[in-house]
Amino acid sequence: MTLPWLTILLLLPILGSVVVAFLPARLGGSLPKLVGIGFSVLTLALALGIAVAYQPGTALQFAEEVTWIDLFGAHYALGLDGIGLTLVLLTVILTPIVMLASWEDGETGRWGAKGLFAWMLALEGLSIGVFAATDVFLFYVFFEATLIPVYFMVAGYGGPRRVQAAVKFLLYSLAGGLVMLASVIGLYVVSADSEGGPTYLISELAQLDIGTAAGRWMFVGFFIAFAIKAPMFPVHTWLPDTTEQATPGTSVLLVSVLDKIGTFGMIRFCLEIFPEASRWATPVVIVLAVFSILYGALMAIGSSNISRLIAYTSVSHFGFIVLGIFVMNSQGLAGANLYMFNHGLSTAALFLVTGYLISRRGSARIEDFGGVEKVAPVLAGLMLVAGLSSLALPGLSPFVSELLVMVGAFVYSPWVAAFAVLGIVLAAIYVLWLYQRTMTGPVHDGVAGMRDLGLREIGALAPLVALIVALGFYPQPLLDVINPAVDHTMSQVEKSDPRPTVTEGEAQE
């Protein structure tokens, strides 16, 4: 009997959070941080071992399944396909990086560094559970549980209005969760009427003949919850408020990891369990996705606060991801999956480097900066790389993702692609304008004497930059893992790529 590797993987950081939380106060100092980073590195090592052993294919691997609550068909069921594996890897890569970057962030927080690092480890374990769950009820439990550590990370550490931001985040997320719960209950009712009895296993639900009306209503329940999490217009307003008040590390885990649950859920649940409803809703979802792309980019251009600007860029980027999902062709869906991973890297780099910038200046207002590249050239250089990654410069990892999404959008409709491509143009404006206003020109009075990045800070950013560059030139290892899962999703939603049309004259030539 093989070991339950996925259970071990998700329990390891949760165990680490308990150990860090209960370290004796008299030990204090750096020990909780070192123990927290140690557990996150062990989790990363185990996840890399799982990734090496993973064989790309359509079947779930490292599957575990035990009856949990037999009365309504709930199972403790875990498994990984290519989509889940890439998001688990993103989670375990970012957590130790965020911890190293947040070395000093917890000192002035409500529960100190020990509390911050404990909550980060708890969020890591619960997020792994979300991406590995193959039972809808188990997914819902993990989905709701992730709100707990994020709420305390925002409410306990950050700006002066952090409690209000944490409450707004929680209310939006709980509202989405309650709507989704209605659909979860609906799945029980539908499956209970089937020959096999009630079940929440995704593999069994995907084979059920769910009625058209019921399927569409349940699709809407899941989609609303995932749209809030993603976030999409018009249920996105919690994100700028939260990132403005949260620490940079919390913002990274929130946007780069937690928000991916929304787009992951659209693929895993909306497309695979409700294929007919997904096809029915596609025109509306694509309009919302394109609107999110343009709206987020325009709001970023008009932002005077660095943290809010980055939050709005993510609204725009998530619009691209949702667009890639719902054009329902292999190019768009593969691009959306790759985009989730690459966006996590680029946004993490941007939040962390601007976090260093803000902490040195004591302000997040763009007008309070100027000429930083003259006094802190390393910081300015890394901010330029992070910014160029965010606008998907060729040679950096988001470029391939965005290109695939745009190809998929063009296959779906040239008009949709034409509107979406404006978001790429606007991205160049908000990124380059941000860099110009903060890094170039005469040195602002408040910037004079600003110290450059230290070794620890460079060490936190270096892995992100290395991955962004490496995957920009060679994304094939990730695509090899993602493509079989994309093919499976396409078959579930009963879609195939359109064949190229060739005229009689071209065929004769």
pLDDT tens for residues 410-424? 988 899 999 999 999
Whether the pLDDT of residue 119 is over 70: the answer is yes
DSSP 8-state code for residue 441: S
- Reported as a single tens digit per residue, the pLDDT across 437-492 is 998 888 888 878 888 888 998 999 999 999 999 999 999 999 999 999 888 888 87
For residues 442 and 370, is the Cβ–Cβ distance under 8 A?
yes
Structure tokens at 429: 């404006």
Region 126-137: mean pLDDT is 93
CA dihedral 245, 247, 251, 257 (to 10 degrees): -140
DSSP 8-class letter at 2: -
Q: In three state form, how does the secondary structure of 442-488 look?
A: CCCCCCCCCCCCCHHHHHHHHHHHHHHHHHHHCCHHHHHHHHHHHHH
Can you give the pTM of this predicted structure? 0.91
User: Residue 193 pLDDT > 80, yes or no?
Assistant: no
**Does a cis peptide bond (omega within 30 degrees of 0) precede residue 234?**
yes
d(CA 59, CA 80): 8
**Which residues, at least 6 apart from 356, have a Cβ–Cβ distance to it below 8 Å?**
248, 379, 453, 457
In degrees, to the nearest 5, what angle opens at C-alpha 348 toward C-alphas 342 and 354?
135
**296 contacts 233 by C-beta, under 8 angstroms:** yes
The DSSP output letter for 68 is: E
Beta strands in 132-201 (DSSP E): none
Q: How many CA atoms lie within 13 Å of 70's alpha carbon, on the beta-carbon side?
A: 2
